[in-house]
């Protein structure tokens, strides 16, 4: 990326720095998200400290797992939504030369740099007031990776052409709402209720707040200090409190003020009260340099544990994606009982809910931070009873995981959604994406394959797998005409198609992705039982009342599910072949951007349900999760001839009819195309890699990052282009490097090994193990097999 950019446009002068020059109100929301700082416990958007939520700026701080439920009325219907809450604003800090107005922005000049290596946001600005007094401002902030409840802001003021009193106001603000997503406006947005503000006997600011409809309690304590003598006064309102420091400003002499804030909630462990814990932490914290040193040390550890080196010009966006993943979910998330929000903790899109995006995230975490992957799966296991209740309510058995999850595991999918093009609120049927349960099962098995963690499988993983398999078996109905089992009334990953044209009820029958993956789950459930020690297997079967007759039914259903085809192509669902062809040429002339084709057609009085058009990969998801050989084996197990041309024909068919309305679409297509068209694969990879940096969905990144696409793009380098798989107690490699990529080098964790080094170039693959006491690792590469012991290196020639 070059350095000559317009104001507000991002620049990466090196692979570890994101830089913005100037101020662009149109791009400010995007910049705030990409410059957000977090640590897995919380994330704070990169809003200017002097700013307020005004349609341009949107200060927001989000704590993992902090949700509140509220009711609204939409088109005469009562609806309830649970939202990730915008918590009290810890950032407020502004200044003025005595007698002037408080600085509210924007500055006359500004450069903002995000240091990805250390997790520090630096702002350098020139502020000129209405009397022409010029003040140079340098601010640094961090969200501590060493102490996740601590946030810090350092501000240095240098008068350039004036001397005299300088006033600095530093505060806490509890008067915040959830108003960061325009299409949610009109819904309930006030979740936070400040219940106490003030200053304690040690001079710390304090703010306590509760939730409107949940028992959650939040407390902030703030210490503001200057590196020279200052007079301190206090201002206080109903929902805010501030220190006002008065210092002597001298022309050319810097004045530094430090603000340190501690945040605790009633969800935190090992504390007496949130306020008491936050006061203790804020009062005892070191200065900014001390906090920065320990914070940077932790970031150094994180980067060593996920080292991926590649010789192409996209390592900056690669680091940016990893940075935001590690800010959303880290070691500090493990004990919080939280999932992976699809849009990170960076904004309010999707209300902070958990979807299937962990399917893309955990494939990366399994091989770098398996303890984090295990924590995500524990989040799902704790909600297994909720999934069982939902299955019963749907008339099925086993566990039916929700499409959208938040605090307690109930279905959180919206009942209505707004089409901004037509202004109409429409029924939302996305909860019918039952395939999310198969994603949970897939994640359980992949985690086990990468870690060999039989304890987890025995205590939690196998139970989830078995109950998801039971759900699919009980949901399938027998079609006597075909002599096959059918899964009806569901939605696939495409999301555009939610009913048959003219149908009275929502849902589709025999979505190919859903059915093949259900068959895989039914097979893996038996494998999971076989892995368990005999006594644990017996205990689990007894607990679940799982007898031989039911296991036999699983095999019967799993081998005879209906999978539709048409013209040598895997059909997206039964009846897909009867849909009309869209006049793509005409629509591309009329609408330069077809990513929201569903909204366009609805606004025209039509429906996408009538056409062979897809938002994102659906049937092709099978080749994303499994190798081509595995897909062929899955289809043959179901009794379908699976020729080698199936992947090419299916890819060609759907690629021409897909509008890539999701950032995940480029990830999947890059993966699927790598064996047939590496140049096209690389184009899709590059699109996925910079999807948030370039805001490819036209404004949506300002509402939160797309975490699945961020992780998925990194995983394309890690596993797709190396052909890396973990299965059958071995690491499989089958490199297919695109022409633009000459070398890849990865540091991985695998089954207790903390240093599996894999280096791939066009001629060789080198695998090295650090010296330790772990078992040898089996490597499979294009028919060759080798066992590598700790401390050994093996080179394979391609």
Catalytic (active-site) positions: 495
**In terms of Cα–Cα distance, which of 403, 455, 440 is closest to 525?**
440
Contacts of 303 (CB under 8 A, 6+ apart): 117
**In terms of Cα–Cα distance, which of 463, 294, 268 is closest to 377?**
463
Evaluated on CA atoms 476, 568, 672, 726, the torsion sign reads positive
Contacts of 263 (CB under 8 A, 6+ apart): 42, 61, 63, 87, 90, 149, 151, 218, 219, 220, 278
Q: Quick check: 308 and 718 in contact, CB under 8 A?
A: yes
Bond prior to 106 in cis (omega within 30° of 0): yes
Terminal CA-to-CA distance of the chain, rounded, Å? Answer: 33
The half-sphere exposure of 516 on its side-chain side, counting CA atoms within 13 A, is: 30
Q: Quick check: 140 and 258 in contact, CB under 8 A?
A: no
Residue 499 CA to residue 492 CA, distance in Å, equals 11
Q: Quick check: 171 and 240 in contact, CB under 8 A?
A: yes
CB atoms closer than 10 angstroms to residue 632? 18
**In terms of Cα–Cα distance, which of 390, 460, 345 is closest to 83?**
345
Q: Which two tokens stand for residue 746?
A: 């990865």
Q: Which two tokens stand for residue 633?
A: 């084996």
**In terms of Cα–Cα distance, which of 143, 86, 90, 65 is closest to 326?**
143
**In terms of Cα–Cα distance, which of 489, 481, 563 is closest to 520?**
563
Evaluated on CA atoms 93, 95, 99, 100, the torsion sign reads negative
**In terms of Cα–Cα distance, which of 346, 365, 359 is closest to 302?**
365
Q: Which two tokens stand for residue 117?
A: 């290596």
Residue 196 CA to residue 219 CA, distance in Å, equals 9
Residue 171: phi and psi, rounded to 5, are -140, 180
Q: What is each CA distance from 676 to 42, 619, 643, 680, in whole angstroms?
A: 42, 17, 15, 9
């Amino acid at each position: 990326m070059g350095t000559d950019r317009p104001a507000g446009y991002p620049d990466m002068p090196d692979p570890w720095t994101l830089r913005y020059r100037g101020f662009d109100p149109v791009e400010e929301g995007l910049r705030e998200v990409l410059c957000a700082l977090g640590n897995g416990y919380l994330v704070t958007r990169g809003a200017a400290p002097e700013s307020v939520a005004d349609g341009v700026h949107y200060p927001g701080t989000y704590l993992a797992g902090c949700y509140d439920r509220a009711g609204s009325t939409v088109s005469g219907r009562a609806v309830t939504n649970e939202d990730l809450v915008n918590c009290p604003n810890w950032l407020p800090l502004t200044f003025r030369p005595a007698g002037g107005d408080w600085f509210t922005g924007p500055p006359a000049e500004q450069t903002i740099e995000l240091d990805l290596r250390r997790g520090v946001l630096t702002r350098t600005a020139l502020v000129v007031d209405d009397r022409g007094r010029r003040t140079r401002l340098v601010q640094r902030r961090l969200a501590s990776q060493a102490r996740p409840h601590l946030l810090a802001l350092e501000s240095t003021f240098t008068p350039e052409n004036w001397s005299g009193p300088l006033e600095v106001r530093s505060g806490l603000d509890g008067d915040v709402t959830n108003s960061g997503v325009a299409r949610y406006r009109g819904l309930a947005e006030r979740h936070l209720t400040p219940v106490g503000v003030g200053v304690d006997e040690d001079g710390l600011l304090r703010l306590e707040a509760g939730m409107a409809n949940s028992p959650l309690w939040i407390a902030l304590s703030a210490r503001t200090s200057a590196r020279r003598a200052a007079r301190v006064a206090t201002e206080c309102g109903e929902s805010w409190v501030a220190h006002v420091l008065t210092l002597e400003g001298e022309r050319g002499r810097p004045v530094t003020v430090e603000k340190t804030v501690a945040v605790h909630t009633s969800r935190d462990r090992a504390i007496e009260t949130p306020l008491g814990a936050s006061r203790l932490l804020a009062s005892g914290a070191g200065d900014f340099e001390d906090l920065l040193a320990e914070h940077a040390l932790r970031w150094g550890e994180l980067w060593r544990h996920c080292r991926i080196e590649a010789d192409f010009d996209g390592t900056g966006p690669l680091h940016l994606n990893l940075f935001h993943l590690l800010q959303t979910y880290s070691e500090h998330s493990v004990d919080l009982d939280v999932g992976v929000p699809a849009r990170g903790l960076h904004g309010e899109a999707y209300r902070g809910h958990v979807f299937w995006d962990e399917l893309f995230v955990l494939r990366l975490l399994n091989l770098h931070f398996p303890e984090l992957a295990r924590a995500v799966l524990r989040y799902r296991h704790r909600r297994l009873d909720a999934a069982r209740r939902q299955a019963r309510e749907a008339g099925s058995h086993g566990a039916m995981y929700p499409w959208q999850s938040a605090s307690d595991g109930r279905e959180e999918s919206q009942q209505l959604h707004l089409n901004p093009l037509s202004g109409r609120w429409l029924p939302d049927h996305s909860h019918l994406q039952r395939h999310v349960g198969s994603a949970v099962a897939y994640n359980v098995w992949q985690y086990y394959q990468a870690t060999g963690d039989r304890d987890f499988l025995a205590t939690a993983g196998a139970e989830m797998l078995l109950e998801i398999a039971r759900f699919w078996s009980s949901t399938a109905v027998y079609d006597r005409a075909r002599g096959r089992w059918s899964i009806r009334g569901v939605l696939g990953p495409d999301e555009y198609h939610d009913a048959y044209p003219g149908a009275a009820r929502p849902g589709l029958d025999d979505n190919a992705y859903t059915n093949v993956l259900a068959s895989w789950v039914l097979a893996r459930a038996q494998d999971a039982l076989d892995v368990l020690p005999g006594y644990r297997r017996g205990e689990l079967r007894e607990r679940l009342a799982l007898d031989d007759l039911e296991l036999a039914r699983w095999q019967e259903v799993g081998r005879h599910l209906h999978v539709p085809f048409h013209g040598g192509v895997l059909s997206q669902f039964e009846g897909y072949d009867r849909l009309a062809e869209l006049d793509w040429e005409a629509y591309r002339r009329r609408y330069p951007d077809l990513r929201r084709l569903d909204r366009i057609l609805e606004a025209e009085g039509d429906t996408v349900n009538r056409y062979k058009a897809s938002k994102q990969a659906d049937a092709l998801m099978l080749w994303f999760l499994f190798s081509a050989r595995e897909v062929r084996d899955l289809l043959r197990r179901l009794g379908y001839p699976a020729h080698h041309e199936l992947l090419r024909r299916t890819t060609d068919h759907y690629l021409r009819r897909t509008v890539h309305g999701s950032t995940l679409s480029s990830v999947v297509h890059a993966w699927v195309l790598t064996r047939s068209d590496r140049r096209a694969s690389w184009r899709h990879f590059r699109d996925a890699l910079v999807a948030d940096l370039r805001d490819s969905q036209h404004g949506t990144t300002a509402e939160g990052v797309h975490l699945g696409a961020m992780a998925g793009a990194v995983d394309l380098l890690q596993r797709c282009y190396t052909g890396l798989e973990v299965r059958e107690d071995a690491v499989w490699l089958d490199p297919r490097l695109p022409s633009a990529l000459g070398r890849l080098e990865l540091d991985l964790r695998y089954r207790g090994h903390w240093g599996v080094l894999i280096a791939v170039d066009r001629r060789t693959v080198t695998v090295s193990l650090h010296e330790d006491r772990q078992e040898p690792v089996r490597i499979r590469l294009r028919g060759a097999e080798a066992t590598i012991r700790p401390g050994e290196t093996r080179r394979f020639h391609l």
